[in-house]
Structure 1
Amino acid sequence: MAAKDDLGRRGEQLAVEYLTERNHVVVDRNWRCAEGELDVVTVSGDMVVVVEVKTRRSMAFGDPLEAVDARKRSRLWRLARAWGVAHPEILRGRSVRLDIIGITGGESTGFDLAHLEDVR
């Protein structure tokens, strides 16, 4: 289990680096409440971006982006609303969108990153 956790942490770090290179400002990581956890929350211009990061070593079990189904997206939107209630000073005057970043690979093979923006 520790190797899976390490891969997930590495994937989240790669996602944060990717986002900051694209002028996102990270305002929260691994934010938790009673309903669950948000991986990364950024601000990009007038947008708060809630980012779900899925990392896998390979595509053997499918594309990591496919792991975020309608049920999971609905849960992420509920969590985004809870985050907004907890952080009104950041949310004020901004819209919210949900992005998904899928990462496959490993340290020895390199990583591939796919970014889906504004997922409903």
Structure 2
Amino acid sequence: MAQHLELGRTGEALAKTHLEKAGYEILDENWTFGKAEIDIIAYKDKVIIFTEVKTRTGNGFGEPEDFVDNRKQKLLAEAADEYIYLMNHQGEVRFDIIAILFDRGGNYILNHIEDAFWPSAT
């Protein structure tokens, strides 16, 4: 398997564990709609949380969360709209980013950014 795919899977597993320990219920993982994939869909306090996980081995090109650009946010919002429709969810939603940065020794820092963005209407 390509190394970057393995890194991504490792990051998603760490993010899922983090959310579960923080009391979130995991509803779905790697949920796709069209060209978008939502890494983790969680639920806590009557809020559906759409979570994008970004994992990197360095920050020379920016922090992991910097890679959730406007295009990605729009795709996530479109997928979230479909998920909300399918689940008939009437409550609040939130978009989070979990950024994971590994060092050369295999240690990592996990940064859970709640309410990281709100996609603009298109």
Question: What TM-score does the superposition give when structure 2 sets the normalisation length?
Answer: 0.88
Q: Is the 8 A contact 2:15 2:53 kept in 1?
A: yes
1 CA distance for matches of 2:63 and 2:75? 20
Residue identity opposite 1:50 in structure 2: F
Change (3 A) 1:7 1:107: farther
2:96 to 85, 99, 108: 99
- Which secondary structure state, in structure 2, belongs to the residue aligned with residue 80 of structure 1? helix
1 CA distance for matches of 2:55 and 2:87? 27
Q: Which moved more, 1:22-31 or 1:67-76?
A: 67-76
Cα root mean square deviation, aligned: 1.6
1:117 to 105, 114, 117: 114
Q: Any unmatched runs of 5+ in structure 1?
A: none
Q: Which moved more, 1:98-107 or 1:59-68?
A: 98-107
Change (3 A) 1:71 1:41: same
- Which secondary structure state, in structure 2, belongs to the residue aligned with residue 71 of structure 1? helix
**Fraction of identical pairs, as percent:** 33
Shift of the alpha carbon at 1:20? Answer: 0.8
Q: Any unmatched runs of 5+ in structure 2?
A: none
Q: Is the 8 A contact 2:8 2:55 kept in 1?
A: yes
Please name the residue that 1:67 is paired with.
67
Please name the residue that 2:80 is paired with.
80
Shift of the alpha carbon at 1:34? Answer: 1.9
Question: What TM-score does the superposition give when structure 1 sets the normalisation length?
Answer: 0.89
Question: Per-residue displacement from partner, 1:24-48 (whole Å, max 9, x unpaired)?
Answer: 0000000112232110000011100
Question: Per-residue displacement from partner, 1:37-86 (whole Å, max 9, x unpaired)?
Answer: 11000001110000000000111221011111222212211110011122
Change (3 A) 1:56 1:23: same
Change (3 A) 1:106 1:17: farther
